[in-house]
Structure formats: C-alpha cells, structure tokens
Amino acid sequence: MGKRIVIIQGHPDGQGRHFCHALADEYARGCEDGGHAVRRVDVAMVDMPLLRTKEDFETGHPPEVVRQAQEAIRWADHLVILYPLWLGSMPALLKGFFEQVFRPGMAFEYGARGGMAKQLLAGKSARIFVTMGMPALVYRWWYLAHSLRSLQRNILGFCGIRPAKATLIGKIEGLNEQQRAGWLNEARGLGLRAQ
C-alpha cells in the first residue's frame, strides 16, 4: 500500500505558473504512478490573517481553511513543501501559513514547567524543494542554507517531522529546457518513491 502525501505549494503567486508549480505537478504524477494518495494545499489560496499575539497562536481559533490544511497534514505520512527563496528565506505568506497551521495542540504540546515539548507530528517525513536565483552551492555553503535549516529543525523537526530532505534548484531563471526537464524528472522520480 502506498503512502499518503500532502503537497504544500508555498509559492505566494496564486495567479502565475512558476517552476514550483511544475515541480509539484510532476511530483504528484510520480505519486500517482507509484500508487500513493495525494492531497494538495496551495498556500496562495489560503485566506488567513497573520498571527499577531501569543494568545492568538496558543488559543485562537484558526479559519476553516487552516483547519482543512491541518487535517491534510495529520492525514499525511509525508509532506512535500515547495517555495522560491525570497530575500534569503521562504516567502512571508508561507511562514505565516506555518504559524497558523503548526499551533499548540496540532503540531506540538508544551512540556510541563518548561520541559521538552511533545512532538505531535512524529513519524512523518518531508521533502522540501527550494528554487532560487543564486547558485544552489552558494546558498548551501556561503549562506549555510540558514533559512532552510531553520525550516528543517525549528519548524518541522520541532514538531517531529524527520527526516526533512531538501532539493535545492539554483540559477532558476537561467535554466535551459533540458535542465528544467531534468529537474522535473527528478521530482517525478521522488514522487514515485514518495521521498
């Protein structure tokens, strides 16, 4: 029996067709070919306010569309997250989405008296696709992939989602058709194996 996959499209442009969208489509095709079940969340289409207080984060009531995204994540064995690198990090809309979705009681529970938090999403894994204008090697080695590592450790890892492997695609605007096809084939292969 196949895995349950949720694809979280983190590109904030809901009107455009970007390489992140093509990667998500190919990953989903691979999943279908591999007998995996797929659900999708398009963050650009999630109508949600940004959280502004600790009280709202901890005890506020998320909008229905956020609750639907939470249910998809609970259902999934494996998360696929795609986004373009903007100003060295994920777009603000995606960060706001994670703040809304990964609330206490859904993704983790606070530990007693400052103890370790309970990871409510343990047992799930993730694949992160990040597209960027700079060479991926520069992002990984010069900038130490700081925002990606923060997502892997401080958001996903904190909630128990591991491993969270990454595929970095650099110089996105300069890729030729053959290079783009190669990345799309890789995404499809990862989907086939649910990795």
> 19-47 pLDDT, tens per residue?
999 999 999 999 999 999 999 999 999 99
> 104-131 pLDDT, tens per residue?
999 999 887 777 889 999 999 999 999 9
Where residue 81 falls (left for φ over 0; alpha for ψ -120 to 50; beta otherwise) is: beta
CB 39 within 8 Å of CB 78: no
Read off the pTM. 0.95
Structure tokens belonging to residue 175: 């890729």
Give me the domain span that covers residue 85: 4-193
- Domain count for the chain: 1
Q: What is the mean pLDDT of residues 171-187?
A: 97
Strands (E), the chain: 4-9, 37-42, 78-84, 108-109, 118-119, 125-131, 164-169
Q: How many CB atoms lie within 10 A of CB 191?
A: 28
Whole-number pLDDT of residue 111: 80
CA distance 61 to 43: 18
CA distance 97 to 49: 9
Whole-number pLDDT of residue 154: 95
What share of the chain has pLDDT > 90, as a percent? Answer: 93
Q: What is the CATH number of the domain that holds 88?
A: 3.40.50.360
What's the DSSP call for residue 2?
A: P
CA distance 148 to 136: 12
CA distance 59 to 66: 14
Whole-number pLDDT of residue 116: 81
Whole-number pLDDT of residue 139: 95
Q: What is the mean pLDDT of residues 157-170?
A: 97
Residue 122: alpha-carbon gap to chain centroid: 16
Where residue 61 falls (left for φ over 0; alpha for ψ -120 to 50; beta otherwise) is: beta
> 71-80 pLDDT, tens per residue?
999 999 999 9
